[in-house]
Amino acid sequence: MALDINSIRADFPILSRILPNGKQLVYFDNAATSQKPQCVIDEMTRYYETYNSNAHRANHTLADEATTALENARKEIAQFFGTKPGNLVYTSGATEAINLVSYGWAKYNLKEGDVIVLTEMEHHADIVPWQELSKEKGIEVRYVPINTETYTLDMDAFEVAVKDASLVCVTHTSNVLGIRNPIEQIIQISKKYGAYILLDCAQGAPHEKIDFSALKADFIAISAHKMAGPTGIGCLLVSSERLEEMGPFMTGGSMIRKVTTEGSTFQEGHAMFETGTPRIAEAIGWGAAVKWLSQFEMKDIHDHVHEIAAWTGKEMNKIPGIKIYGDPSNKNSSGAVSFLHETIQSQDLAFLLDEGGFAVRTGHHCAQPLMDALGVPSTNRASFWIYNTQEEAESFISHLRNVCERFA
Amino acid sequence: MALDINSIRADFPILSRILPNGKQLVYFDNAATSQKPQCVIDEMTRYYETYNSNAHRANHTLADEATTALENARKEIAQFFGTKPGNLVYTSGATEAINLVSYGWAKYNLKEGDVIVLTEMEHHADIVPWQELSKEKGIEVRYVPINTETYTLDMDAFEVAVKDASLVCVTHTSNVLGIRNPIEQIIQISKKYGAYILLDCAQGAPHEKIDFSALKADFIAISAHKMAGPTGIGCLLVSSERLEEMGPFMTGGSMIRKVTTEGSTFQEGHAMFETGTPRIAEAIGWGAAVKWLSQFEMKDIHDHVHEIAAWTGKEMNKIPGIKIYGDPSNKNSSGAVSFLHETIQSQDLAFLLDEGGFAVRTGHHCAQPLMDALGVPSTNRASFWIYNTQEEAESFISHLRNVCERFA
Amino acid sequence: MEGASWPTHLTPIIEEFKDCFDSMERYELLFEYAKKHPSSLPIEEWNDKNQILGCQSRAHVKCSLDENGLFLLRAGADAQIVQGLMSITAITVNGMLPIEVAKLTPEFVKEMGLKSSLTPSRANGFLNMFNRVVSEAEVLSER
Amino acid sequence: MEGASWPTHLTPIIEEFKDCFDSMERYELLFEYAKKHPSSLPIEEWNDKNQILGCQSRAHVKCSLDENGLFLLRAGADAQIVQGLMSITAITVNGMLPIEVAKLTPEFVKEMGLKSSLTPSRANGFLNMFNRVVSEAEVLSER
Ligand SMILES: Cc1ncc(COP(=O)(O)O)c(C=O)c1O
Ligand SMILES: Cc1ncc(COP(=O)(O)O)c(C=O)c1O
């Protein structure tokens, strides 16, 4: 079913923003963060205005309401991702979720000589924690290369790398290339060789239904802010088997069972990893975002975004001097289109696009190893989501063509 | 100058809340979390509605506005705490701030046999991280006892414990007893013996001007949500000397300088500890909270709260069967008044107070070692802040008296 | 909902609560029921096995069948509100067939005007105890 | 503000920018200035010492005094917008006394209608370079 984009746009107050230079905002920086529908903003406001209270161990009405809302959000979000509330650990985002796997699971379960497999297209969030662990514990980190013609993972190299690996950490979708990795195949091969699997779904979750139970991954990291939710929250989805193997990471209140001056015992399950005052407003906001998203089929969102991205890619290819990194025409690609102009430097291009009201991201996108593989220091990246329109893409292409003609 | 409480109350929409049982909310759970003034809620809404964008490496208008707001908030908050923006590391709260000291400083700088001094009145957030570090690195943890008559720290025992200590971790103000520790003296003695000092100011910051430069502590942990700010954010204040000694904790995007498949180099200063998408809305909200607080003298807030707490304590003492833990009459005490009834169990009392609309907290308050020292499993705790009134305290005492008469 | 979801011998107790002037009076009544628990579990028998987890106060439950194969609930909690609710639960379930007990819902608490005792995050004291009773009844009915 | 905060020989350039039809035209003009940088720093001389930190693009600055003790700014950036601004800065400061350069503010960029190049979080390319020039001028004026 086609989405009613006009009515969707009406849910996002920011989309009518006029920039200081008088231009209408065209927001094409969705891979960095998405905008938030009014209902998400309102739910957080309602929390602060009517029932703000610390959660857990609640013995008054407000605390009870806040705790209930917090736990209902967990249920809602867990269900959205095809898992149980007990398998969802709230974190501050995908980055903290991956650090939690490193500190809370790998630290306790991997040993010197063990192998972790990454790919060249990982975000720094899925590289640096493993490099640090590698330094500390003598773990070997391997990088699966990408084919720089097709921009896809070298699956032969993957199969070689995974043979004696303990953990495979792969991004569902590249935030730079928009390429969606063959995660089902990656999971299947990893399992064949007995390796556990962490999926970085920061980019995948806004574009595709992530069904944790069906995928049978061990860990999945997600950020709320890229999928209509607020800043400051995300989660780690973790299988019950891996959860059992985990030990404490950050410690303090709430995650304990009993504290004495002699020592402490900890809660079990997700509670062991959620210490301190919870991100209450954030969880409630994310719950509202997931509810908002649930009125659509993720497949429809993907198709809509893909259509714009594919068209934009096609038109960009017609502009002399523009080179695309990735393959927006691929049916599985997400809405991220990375490109460079051969003579207009990327920061300059960003400025000139901004002058037209177009918000695109420019830089290494926290993926320097991928930049190295592509042989460029940075790219410009336009990334689309549910509320973007064909008209926006058309005006973007027309402005880009104009800029290229005048500044090349 | 006396505060205009009526006009202050008008800033807090939640205070006019009528509970489901028809009672007017009387919010006395401020030590758990404070309420938020409208301007704080509005600033976050304005962010989401008009300039939401990922921050840093900004090359478009929205990203620029978001980054500027994020960094202005850092300046505002740092200034409020008497320090420079570079000495403030954003965390998710006081708990994460203390874990950051443990993982980011102590792990790199303490060794087997070193001594950490805590007190019996610490919150679990300032106990469990040190117990964990102790297990991992063979560090000795000492607990300074409290005098259970005066509810104050045994300073003689402190002076003995600190003699060969490397780090002293003390709460500025007890969240259970309301007792404010002699932190200036503690810092001075610690320095005399060459021990570094971490102050847990989660409870201190809402009640007193925390001047990091004047105090000359090494680390200070703070939560925004207890001082009119949003959930999900707090900070670690850290001296430039200690900052230099710190190494990476959570890793990923933003905190790096350069990532290659061979290894990575990191940013310096606070940037090394802020990885992933920042808590943008939260920082902006906290900035607004600090601005809101800045219109008052913290001393006036303290005096106002102290007056209510002292009066409430005095009246409670007149109710047969009620025993207070702490000394609300002490001029330095914060607005937390812990109490128990000799026959009405604390959970029952919490329920019966809630029936009257009074939100008080009941439990071990994440301070089980203190509960052990006091010889009780839990307390009821009423805690006051800037917007509470003498009238609220009077109706509370009258309801409490009634409950005690009927249920004892 | 069709019909009452509790045994008829509970109705007079429910009525008693409904007749209370206000919630304070209801809680007074509940405290009285706590004192006249028909089969309270003495503190000596409280142990890890019969403890209810997730409770903020200490609460213990022991379910068995009497010589006639009928349900016997023994429960003890240090909070009187929880103990009062368990007392009423015991009055309700003692002497019932376990298979009947297994079908019980805590609906009656709402009817008594003590709804706030039922919200899962707060008084999980009582709700957790009640759920334990129901699941033990299920097990006992399968014997 | 009282009076212009830039040397008078900058005024014709500022006027040139003010006469532009729109921002796109202004940036075209800026690109031209980037090309006619009076004393650009060749890429061979870019090194860690003269690199501007915190820039998103690569930018390098070398300040010195000529034989007459007058300021000479050599700068190179791979972004043309930054290079254009540095070119105009060089036109401005070259031949000035270092003590005068030390007093300069980047006000003229705003006046030229390129304000958005000045926000600290975005184009810290140019701002950081400019601040480096001013602080090196300070040092050089104390010689
Ligand atoms: C004294 C003290 N320290 C630390 C904390 C932990 O703060 P947070 O839960 O915001 O991380 C609290 C709050 O409960 C506290 O009262
Ligand atoms: C693929 C990928 N992984 C991880 C992250 C990190 O997410 P966050 O910054 O929300 O922690 C991002 C977002 O930038 C991403 O695109």
Q: Alpha-carbon distance C6 to A156, whole Å?
A: 65
Looking at chain C, which residue has its C-alpha nearest residue A69?
C121
Q: How many CB atoms lie within 10 A of CB C9?
A: 11
Whether residue C1 lies inside any domain: the answer is no
Q: Best mutation site among A52, A277, A280 for ligand 1, i.e. most ligand atoms within 8 A of its Cβ? A: A277
The pTM (predicted TM-score) of the whole model is 0.95
pLDDT in tens, A74-111: 999 999 999 999 999 999 999 999 999 999 999 999 99
Closest-approaching ligand to the CA atom of A126? 2
Q: Alpha-carbon distance B171 to C97, whole Å?
A: 56
Diameter of chain D measured on Cα atoms: 45
For residues A57 and B363, is the Cβ–Cβ distance under 8 A? yes
Low-confidence ranges of chain B (pLDDT < 70): 1
Residues of A with CB under 8 A from a CB of C: 55-59, 61, 63-64, 67-68, 71
Q: Is B169 annotated in the active site?
A: no
Q: How many distinct structural domains can be found in chain C?
A: 1
> In which band, very low, low, confident or very high, does the pLDDT at D55 lie, cut at 50, 70 and 90?
low
Looking at chain B, which residue has its C-alpha nearest residue D122?
B58
> In which band, very low, low, confident or very high, does the pLDDT at C2 lie, cut at 50, 70 and 90?
very low
- Give the distance (Å) from ligand 1 centre to CA of residue B224: 10
Report residue D98: phi and psi, to 5°.
Answer: -55, -35
DSSP 8-state secondary structure symbol assigned to residue A180? B
Q: Alpha-carbon distance A179 to A181, whole Å?
A: 6
Q: Which of residues 34-63 of A touch B (CB under 8 A)?
A: 35-36, 40-41, 44-45, 48-54, 57, 59-63
Residue type, B47: Y
Under DSSP, is residue C118 helix (H, G, I), strand (E, B) or coil?
Answer: coil
Q: Which residues fall within 8 angstroms of residue C71, CB to CB, at 6 or more apart? A: C63, C65, C93, C94, C95, C96, C97, C98, C100, C101, C137, C140
Q: Which residues fall within 8 angstroms of residue A102, CB to CB, at 6 or more apart? A: A129, A130, A132, A133
Output the pLDDT for position D54: 63
Under DSSP, is residue A133 helix (H, G, I), strand (E, B) or coil?
Answer: helix
Domain that holds residue D121: 8-141
Residue located nearest, by CA, to atom 15 of ligand 2: A202
Does the beta carbon of B94 sit less than 6 angstroms from any atom of ligand 1? yes
**Hey, is the C-beta of D54 within 8 angstroms of any chain B C-beta?**
no
Torsion angle defined by CA atoms of residues A244, B277, A175 and B262, in that order, rounded to the nearest 10 degrees: -70
Q: Alpha-carbon distance A96 to B275, whole Å?
A: 8
Evaluate if residue D48 carries a pLDDT over 90. no
Q: Alpha-carbon distance B350 to C117, whole Å?
A: 12
Q: Contact partners of A by the rule of 3+ C-beta pairs under 8 A?
A: B, C, D
CA D89 vs CA A201, B272, D10, D38, D103: distances in Å:
46, 33, 9, 10, 13
Q: Which two tokens stand for residue B109?
A: 């700088």
Q: Cβ–Cβ of D121/B61 closer than 8 Å?
A: no
Query: What ipTM is given for this predicted complex?
Result: 0.94
Question: What topology does CATH give the domain A5-30+296-407?
Answer: Aspartate Aminotransferase, domain 1 (3.90.1150)
Find the DSSP H helices in B52-93. Answer: 61-80
**Hey, is the C-beta of D125 within 8 angstroms of any chain A C-beta?**
yes
pLDDT in tens, A127-143: 999 999 999 999 999 99
Output the pLDDT for position C55: 62
Output the pLDDT for position C38: 87
Q: Which two tokens stand for residue B28?
A: 């006395």
Q: Which of C121, C122, C126 to mutate to test the interface with A (most CBs of A within 10 A)?
A: C121
Output the pLDDT for position D1: 36
- Give the distance (Å) from ligand 2 centre to CA of residue D48: 30
For chain C, the average pLDDT equals: 86
In this structure, chain A runs to a length of 408
Q: Which of residues 170-199 of A touch B (CB under 8 A)?
A: none
In this structure, chain C runs to a length of 143
Match 């002293």 to its residue by tokens.
Answer: B168
Q: Alpha-carbon distance C52 to C62, whole Å?
A: 10
For residues D136 and D94, is the Cβ–Cβ distance under 8 A? no
Q: Which residues fall within 8 angstroms of residue A45, CB to CB, at 6 or more apart? A: B41, B45
Q: Do chains D and A touch (3 or more CB pairs under 8 A)?
A: yes
- Give the distance (Å) from ligand 2 centre to CA of residue A235: 12
β-sheet bridge partners, residue C71: C65
The architecture of the domain spanning A42-293 is: 3-Layer(aba) Sandwich (3.40)
Above pLDDT 90, what percent of chain D?
46
Nearest CB to B258; choose among A252, A351, A368: A368
For residues B334 and B207, is the Cβ–Cβ distance under 8 A? yes
- Give the distance (Å) from ligand 1 centre to CA of residue A311: 52
Q: Alpha-carbon distance B285 to A233, whole Å?
A: 15
Evaluate if residue C117 carries a pLDDT over 90. no
Evaluate if residue D2 carries a pLDDT over 50. no
pLDDT in tens, A305-362: 999 999 999 999 999 999 999 999 999 999 999 999 999 999 999 999 999 999 999 9
CA A348 vs CA A174, A291, D82: distances in Å:
24, 40, 8
Dihedral sign computed on CA atoms, order D55, D58, D64, D66: negative
Average pLDDT over residues A54-81: 92
Looking at chain D, which residue has its C-alpha nearest residue B69?
D121
Whether residue D58 lies inside any domain: the answer is yes
The alpha-carbon gap from B402 to the nearest alpha carbon of chain C, in Å, equals 10
Evaluate if residue C37 carries a pLDDT over 60. yes
Q: Cβ–Cβ of A67/C116 closer than 8 Å?
A: no
**Hey, is the C-beta of C102 within 8 angstroms of any chain B C-beta?**
no
Q: Which two tokens stand for residue D54?
A: 């915190």
Q: How many CB atoms lie within 10 A of CB B354?
A: 25
**Ligand 2 atom having least distance to the Cα of A92:** 11
Output the pLDDT for position A294: 98
Whether residue C117 lies inside any domain: the answer is yes
Nearest CB to D119; choose among B56, B57, B68: B68
> In which band, very low, low, confident or very high, does the pLDDT at D129 lie, cut at 50, 70 and 90?
confident
Long-range contact pairs involving A257-263 (C-beta distance under 8 Å, separation at least 24): A258/B368, A259/B124, A259/B127, A259/B128, A259/B368, A259/B369, A260/B368, A260/B369, A260/B372, A261/B120, A261/B143, A261/B369, A261/B372, A263/B131, A263/B135
Looking at chain B, which residue has its C-alpha nearest residue A27?
B62
Whether residue D2 lies inside any domain: the answer is no
Output the pLDDT for position D23: 86
Output the pLDDT for position B1: 65
Catalytic residue among B169, B201, B366, B404: B366
pLDDT in tens, A144-169: 999 999 999 999 999 999 999 999 99
DSSP 8-state secondary structure symbol assigned to residue B398? H
- Give the distance (Å) from ligand 2 centre to CA of residue A315: 28
The 3-state secondary structure of chain D reads: CCCCCCCHHHHHHHHHHHCCCCHHHHHHHHHHHHHCCCCECCHHHCCCCCECCCCCCCEEEEEEECCCCCEEEEEEECCHHHHHHHHHHHHHHCCCCHHHHCCCCCHHHHHCCCHHHHCCCCCHHHHHHHHHHHHHHHHHHCC
Evaluate if residue C1 carries a pLDDT over 50. no
CA B306 vs CA B204, B313, B329, B383: distances in Å:
13, 10, 8, 10
For residue C75, give the CATH number of its domain: 3.90.1010.10
Output the pLDDT for position A204: 98
Q: Alpha-carbon distance B52 to B62, whole Å?
A: 7
Q: Alpha-carbon distance C83 to C91, whole Å?
A: 12
Any idea where the domains of chain A sit in the sequence? 5-30+296-407, 42-293
User: Is the model more confident about D7 or about A202?
Assistant: A202
CA B7 vs CA A28, B3, B10, B37, B60: distances in Å:
43, 9, 5, 11, 40
Q: Alpha-carbon distance A235 to A246, whole Å?
A: 16
For residues A10 and A37, is the Cβ–Cβ distance under 8 A? no
Chains B and C: how many Cβ contacts under 8 Å? Answer: 41
